[in-house]
Amino acid sequence: MSWLLTLVFVGGVVAIGRIYYSIRKMREQRVKDWDEVQIDRLRKMGSDPFKAHDVDFFMAMPSEAAGLDVKARLEADGFRVDLKPAPDNPSTQPFSLHASKALRLSVPGMRELSAQFRDIAKASGGTYDGWSAAAVPRTDSTH
């Protein structure tokens, strides 16, 4: 009977060890989010991280009134905003909102903006569809 107890104890220690190392390995594997992937893509294209980029943000809105409310809020924060009917989503999100602003790109800054846009869209019954930006080439300052 004592050998059975010993076997169960050793099995439990091995299981706890495997769980511990699995959790530790998962923590080490960092999953990149959309904001980080986009910024990495731009940097690999030779974009200058110290220059402002024209960043385009996209939302789908449930109504024109909701879109106009979000438009006013974003314009007050310095964004250029346009709101258009979205014929591809006439029943669920019939309006498309596009906001743009020149911004320096950093992963923490873009994560914060994405979180704010998700909250704004959700509060209005809409959805945040992400952002995009074109690369801003580096210039040689040795001239």
* pTM beyond 0.95, yes or no: no
pLDDT at residue number 74: 98
Domain 34-133 has CATH 3.90.550.10: no
Q: pLDDT tens, 4-57?
A: 778 777 776 777 767 766 666 655 445 568 899 999 999 999 999 789 999 999
* Mean pLDDT value across residues 84-94: 83
Confidence of residue 109 (pLDDT cuts 50, 70, 90): very high
Q: pLDDT tens digits for 119-136?
A: 999 999 999 999 999 999
Look up residue 81 and give its two tokens. Answer: 């905003």
pLDDT recorded at residue 106: 93
CB atoms within 10 A of CB 133: 21
**Integer Cα distance of 27 and 93 in angstroms:** 37
Listed in sequence order, the residues at least 6 apart from 66 whose beta carbon sits closer than 8 Å to its beta carbon are 95, 124, 125, 126
The proportion of the chain whose per-residue pLDDT surpasses 90, expressed as a percent, equals 64
> What is the pLDDT at residue 128?
96
Average pLDDT, the chain: 86
Closest residue by Cα to residue 133 from 108, 88, 101? 101
- DSSP letter at 137? B
* Res 94 pLDDT > 90: yes
Q: Is the pLDDT of residue 142 over 50?
A: no
Residue 27: φ, ψ to 5°: -65, -35
Residue 140: burial class (beta carbons within 10 Å; 0-12, 13-18, 19+): exposed
